[in-house]
């Protein structure tokens, strides 16, 4: 049985380097691991508890919850916007954290990686994302990390899949997360 990892990309831009990293993760996943890129994160409305009912819950939010619920682990790809987490990822975390104590993130292994234009590769955003995921109930694998600096330069002419160093690092991250998903979660 394959380990299923759901990838959430925090940039909605079609040419996003973080999306390219996620594509590389799907391509470089070990044979017994499937990495699925969630499509439609931009369609999920901002979290509003008033509409988070069985009768009114937006279909896009339910699709996100269902996909996360069926996954064994989540891998978030975060750029850095103004020194912090992109709103689309924070919103996804908010939807996945509900209902409180029972959300799709509850006890699920999660990791955060990414690339950004700056010299630190978006580490502030990634740290903030890990913090939000942990508070939301996810089992954050703190040692599974990858921050690729200066994405605009590094990937100007090269897709991450064709950058052997980065492709190998992405494959390492996927393998570590899959291993984390196979271990029992401490109660």
Domain limits for position 134: 3-182
Model confidence over 96-122: pLDDT tens digits? 999 988 999 999 999 999 999 888 889
187, part of any domain: no
Indicate the number of domains in the chain.
Answer: 1
Locate all alpha helices (DSSP H) within 32-185, ordered by sequence.
Answer: 59-70, 87-96, 123-135, 151-154, 164-182
- pTM (2 decimals)? 0.95
The residue whose two tokens read 């605009």 is 152
Does the residue 121 lie in any domain? yes
| Separation of CA 48 from chain center | 21
Residue 135 lies in a domain: yes
Cβ neighbors of 88 (< 8 A, separation 6 or more) are 10, 11, 12, 41, 42, 44
Reported as a single tens digit per residue, the pLDDT across 67-80 is: 999 999 999 999 99
Exposure string over 11-46, b if 16+ CB within 10 A, otherwise e: beeeebbbbbbbbbbbebbeeebbbbbbeebeebee
Q: Which helix (H) or strand (E) covers residue 27, if one does?
A: helix 17-28
Residue 132 structure tokens: 């939000």
Side-chain-side CA neighbours of residue 3 (13 Å): 24
The CATH code of the domain that includes 138 is: 3.40.50.360
User: pLDDT by residue (tens digit) across 120-165?
Assistant: 889 999 999 999 999 999 999 999 999 998 888 889 889 999 999 9
- The three-point CA angle 9-14-15 to 5° equals 95
Label residue 187 by pLDDT band (50, 70, 90): very low
Token code pair at residue 141: 């694998």
Assess if residue 40 is contained within a domain. Answer: yes
């Amino acid at each position: 049985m394959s380990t299923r990892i759901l990838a959430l990309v925090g940039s909605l831009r079609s040419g996003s380097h973080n999306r390219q990293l996620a594509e590389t993760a799907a391509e470089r996943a070990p044979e017994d691991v499937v990495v699925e890129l969630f499509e439609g994160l931009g369609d999920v409305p901002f979290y509003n508890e008033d509409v988070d009912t069985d009768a009114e819950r937006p279909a896009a939010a339910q699709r996100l919850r269902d996909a996360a619920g069926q996954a064994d682990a989540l891998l978030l790809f975060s750029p850095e916007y103004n020194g912090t987490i992109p709103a689309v990822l924070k919103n996804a975390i908010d939807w996945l954290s509900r209902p409180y104590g029972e959300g799709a993130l509850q006890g699920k292994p999660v990791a955060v990686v990414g690339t950004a234009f700056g010299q630190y590769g978006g580490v502030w955003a990634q740290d903030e994302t890990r913090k939000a995921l942990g508070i939301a109930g996810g089992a954050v694998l703190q040692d599974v990390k990858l921050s690729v600096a200066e994405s605009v330069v590094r990937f100007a002419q090269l897709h991450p899949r064709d950058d052997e160093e980065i492709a190998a690092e992405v494959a390492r991250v996927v393998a570590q997360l899959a291993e984390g998903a196979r271990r029992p979660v401490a109660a």
